[in-house]
Amino acid sequence: MRKIVITGGAGFAGSHIVDEACQKYPDARVVVLDKMTYAGDVRNISHHVFSNRVQLLVGDVADLDLCRRVVKGACLVIHAAAESHVDNSFGNSLEFTRTNVLGTHALIEACRQERVPKVVHVSTDEVYGEVMSGAAAEDDVLRPTNPYSSSKAAAEMILRGYIQSYHEPIVIIRANNLYGIRQFPEKIIPRFICHLLTGRRLPLHGNGSNRRHYLSTRDFARAVLFVAEQGVVGETYNIGTTEEYTNLEMAELVCKHFGRSVDQLVDFVPDRPFNDARYSISWSKLQGMGWKPQHSLREDLGMLVDWYRDNLERYTELFGTPEVQAITQTLAMLATSGAAAELKVTT
């Protein structure tokens, strides 16, 4: 039986790769290696774990001995484990280097020692840094600008050394921002949705003009396995979409879905120490091989809101118990309806 290892598989993007792998390879054994940080949630993959399709191993990708045991006999390793939230990286940058750089190094060394025949490394469009016009292609210079993207670029440099020196069978992918269910509500879309579901205001960095592209995580997961099968060893592939919004446009989009006016709900908060104005990548290389995005955020937003409404209790540490959530929401509705206009709901 084929064994596929997915690191970070209990996180947001990783769990969608697990879904795709289980569907695409019904006969494979899928093993998830995940440290179960705040961003990992067993419920993201419990549907597979309970049906014995997926084995969840809790551990650190920076542990070489553990990685060797986990990847032994695997035909494919997909490396999605990471510290992923840029805001956190400004306060805790060493942890980002430990997991994203040392962790990637330990995992690839384990894959080398165990002769894993293919490794897909999940990277990000943020390694190119700010792209104000046009679109970055795979061969462009990497100019990361924050501790998160620097750690992702540094990981790629380690991998390049392994490709060159050891002919390690590595393929690297760099994706746009992702949207989908199960994303931890520290990221902009689920945060806005959860804030509106619980009657809170929307915090917006700076003046809200930073632009991002948003790719469906289902399209992303499909691309990851497409590249695993068809990607040329040593190559890098951008995975992108044309759907682009400023943060303020994103707030407007989500508010409109709730029938609310963005003007009444946005709080402009201090920006990050540095915040790339825009990322943009060209994914013509992947498109030329036959992949293209099939979903759009505009069409998927209703489904996303429904999912977060149904799963709000997952995030009680952020938004209070279901009872507190219900009270906060009622107070906010009263406040905006004018019935209790003096009420101010704070986060």
List residues near ligand NAD by CB under 6 A: 7-8, 10-14, 33-37, 39-40, 60-62, 80-84, 99, 103, 122, 124, 152, 175, 177-178, 184
Cβ distance to ligand NAD smaller for residue 236 or 328: 236
Structure tokens at 156: 């790629």
Q: Which of 125, 168, 243, 252 is catalytic?
A: 125
Cβ distance to ligand NAD smaller for residue 109 or 334: 109
Question: Given strand 211-216, what is the order of strands in its sheet?
Answer: 177-179, 211-216, 244-246
Cβ distance to ligand NAD smaller for residue 265 or 295: 295
Give me the phi and psi of 129, to 5 degrees please: 75, -165
Structure tokens at 266: 């946005």
Q: How many CB atoms lie within 10 A of CB 23?
A: 12
Closest CB to ligand NAD belongs to which residue? 11
Which residues contact residue 188 at a Cβ distance below 8 angstroms, ignoring those fewer than 6 apart? 212, 247, 250
126 carries an active-site annotation: yes
Q: Which of 128, 148, 179, 214 is catalytic?
A: 148
Cβ distance to ligand NAD smaller for residue 61 or 194: 61
125 carries an active-site annotation: yes
Q: Which of 19, 34, 63, 126 is catalytic?
A: 126
Shortest distance (Å) from residue 152 CB to ligand NAD: 6
Shortest distance (Å) from residue 159 CB to ligand NAD: 13
Shortest distance (Å) from residue 72 CB to ligand NAD: 17
Q: What is the DSSP string of 50-100?
A: HTTSEEEEE--TT-HHHHHHHHTT-SEEEE------HHHHHH-HHHHIIII
Cβ distance to ligand NAD smaller for residue 152 or 191: 152
Shortest distance (Å) from residue 8 CB to ligand NAD: 3
Please say whether the beta carbons of 173 and 224 come within 8 A. Answer: yes
Q: In Å, what is the CA distance from 211 to each residue of 192, 243, 270?
A: 16, 10, 17
245 carries an active-site annotation: no
Shortest distance (Å) from residue 286 CB to ligand NAD: 14
What residues are annotated to the active site?
125-126, 148
